[in-house]
Chain A
């Protein structure tokens, strides 16, 4: 059964997005992305030569992937907007991941500035995916501003600490209508699977793949984990409980089909 993720009318078979910022070299990056089967690959515009010479990273991204330039390095909405425009003007397409980070100590995103940048760029025809600190009202405002997807962090970027923001993200999954892509903090394939089992629509992984001993094998592991997590979510995982529950219950006859004398109902 097909289960594509649809963002701005584009159908994506893979729910694993990959980042490109930390690889040891471009050939490892290319091989890892290929093995990840990612169809969305994010690239920092600040690291791309914008003079059209075709040098640098963009040429090494496999053709299967949609390029999602990001505004990494922007510290204000204004900078993010200018960077996004520079990327578009140099032919990088109209998808953009808005990153506005003024905190250089923990690299936590500035939601207020991200909302501002989202409004401006959506009006200019960009497909905006907004990276944010998990917060329901901020996410709602980004959605209202026209964001095509919301990208809450699982834990601080590069921390590999997993989905520490689980409860906040769970609420956002329930309340936000556009896709939720868990971005940042995922350090292991099991954590990517966890995000997908929770109902995230996709995850973005960079550090955990790029800094693995074998990035190509790790990319493959993430691909499998994301597919497994999604399959588990669709299959409807059972309720969790602190109490043990017997798989052959003794009182099953009291429910639905079994043994209830309902002649008095």
Chain B
């Protein structure tokens, strides 16, 4: 069994017309319920639910406070390498984009770690372009030896790996895994990923599951919104999260809602995902999976991020750099995508306090 079996049953459904069939009455019924089915979740993603965004927001806020309190975890991404072997049409790191590539040495990792930790951040995610050679298990394990001195929780967002690789990385202290499916539509996926190992849809789809099997404490998934109908993508993402949550009780499942951002290529998303669309996706997920983490990145603008805080978000990045060596200003390199919120960690902490939230800098201790 794999989530692919779930996907296969659903892939030929006429999503668009099914979403259009949902009525306001259907939405009202779902909003009365305490626990939602897959069908209820579908209902909340429909155009008919757009008239109930405020009701959904009130409920999402209440559920989030109940389960997570008035707290917000803060983290930062640490880009260690921009070497990549894939050709993703929408990503700056694509192997077809020509720019000087680099990978941090252990000394540079230490400089970056120091620069991040002076801001008070204790949770980070190691990111890289997708290259088994440049972001090998051996390289990542060495990085972990450096990072353990500075951080209480270290996550990973690199190329998908085999189970035994993840087991080795968990043993080194890495505790969270993030892997975005980009798009759940297998055909569009193949069109967007023209060369490289990332072409293998099913291997990527099963990656979060391998992370759970390897003992990652937390696994975050998501679709890159803008590549395909956001309602369908959000629905499949939520079902994927639910599948993982039910099958791997000891893994905390998180969901992120990244929207495509400007990059070094010429790719223009065909589908415009509005702020309201993203908010609806986030709220529907919170009502469907009340205990899931919801992660918000600096891709979004400060104005929007401020408003999203009480709507179900549990974890946000702050003062992120998406360049290799971007914190210690080691050398100017290519960013993976442009960030929209450049406020400092101090400012984000202050904002959270003003909104009545406690910034949580540490939520796990590597043991």
Contact = CB atoms under 8 A, between A and B. Distances in A.
Interface of A: 21-26, 45-50, 56, 73, 75, 79, 82-83, 86, 102-107, 158-160, 207, 210-211
Contacts of A23: 69-70, 358
Given A22-B68, A75-B250, A104-B291, A82 B367 contact: yes
Contacts of B252: 104
Contacts of A26: 358
Interface in B335-363: 353, 356-358, 360, 362-363
B250 A45 contact: no
Contact of B69 (A45, A46, A159, A207): A207
Contact of B245 (A46, A86, A105, A158): A105
Contact of B362 (A49, A83, A86, A211): A49
B124 interface: no
Given A104-B249, A158-B66, A211-B70, A86 B356 contact: no
A46 B363 contact: yes
B200 interface: no
B357 A83 contact: no
20 contacts: A21-B69, A22-B70, A22-B71, A24-B70, A24-B356, A24-B358, A25-B356, A46-B152, A46-B364, A47-B360, A49-B122, A103-B250, A104-B251, A104-B291, A105-B291, A106-B291, A207-B66, A210-B70, A211-B66, A211-B70
Task: Tell me if A's interface is mostly helix, strand, loop or mixed.
Answer: loop
Given A25-B358, A104-B252, A73 B364 contact: yes
A3 B357 CA distance: 38
Interface range for B:
20 to 34
Contacts of A158: 66-67
B6 interface: no
B169 interface: no
Given A46-B362, A107-B291, A75 B367 contact: no
B75 to A, nearest CB: 14
A47 B356 CA distance: 19
Given A73-B364, A75-B217, A82-B367, A21 B249 contact: no
B126 to A, nearest CB: 20
A21 B68 CA distance: 8
B270 interface: no
B132 to A, nearest CB: 29
A102 B250 CA distance: 4
Contacts of A48: 362
Contact of B353 (A25, A107, A160): A25
A24 B363 CA distance: 15
List the 3 closest pairs (A to B, CB-CB), nearest first.
A22-B69, A24-B70, A102-B250
A263 B67 CA distance: 68
A261 to B, nearest CB: 62
